[in-house]
């Protein structure tokens, strides 16, 4: 427990379980979209899939992760067929 307090004093905070779950869910959806986009030669699906896989690395807040992920999934749903 001392190590955790030391890391927190340095400004390093572990992500919440909701953040980790969101990153995993949106990463899997992004991977499926990427594969479908490459298979059907649909650049909109391919790049949306890449965005879904990569953006959790750049977003620090949980609410923002879920908001951006939901928006990208809505865009993906509209472009799937």
Distance CA 22, CA 64 (A): 10
Give the model confidence (pLDDT) of 34-64 as tens digits: 999 999 999 999 999 999 999 999 998 999 9
Q: pTM for this structure?
A: 0.84
Distance CA 33, CA 62 (A): 22
Task: Give the CA distances from residue 29 to residues 9, 17, 48, 78, in Å, rounded to whole numbers and listed in that order.
Answer: 35, 18, 10, 14
- pLDDT at position 35: 96
Question: How many other CB atoms are there within 10 angstroms of residue 34's CB atom?
Answer: 19
- pLDDT at position 81: 78
Does the pLDDT value for residue 1 go beyond 80?
Answer: no
Distance CA 5, CA 66 (A): 28
């Amino acid at each position: 427990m001392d190590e955790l307090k030391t890391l927190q004093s340095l400004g390093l905070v572990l992500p919440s379980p909701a953040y980790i779950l969101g990153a995993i869910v949106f990463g899997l959806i992004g991977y499926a979209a990427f594969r479908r986009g490459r298979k059907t030669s649909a650049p909109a699906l391919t790049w949306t899939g890449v965005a879904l896989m990569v953006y959790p690395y750049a977003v620090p807040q949980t609410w923002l992760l879920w908001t951006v992920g939901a928006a990208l999934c809505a865009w993906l749903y509209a472009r799937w067929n």
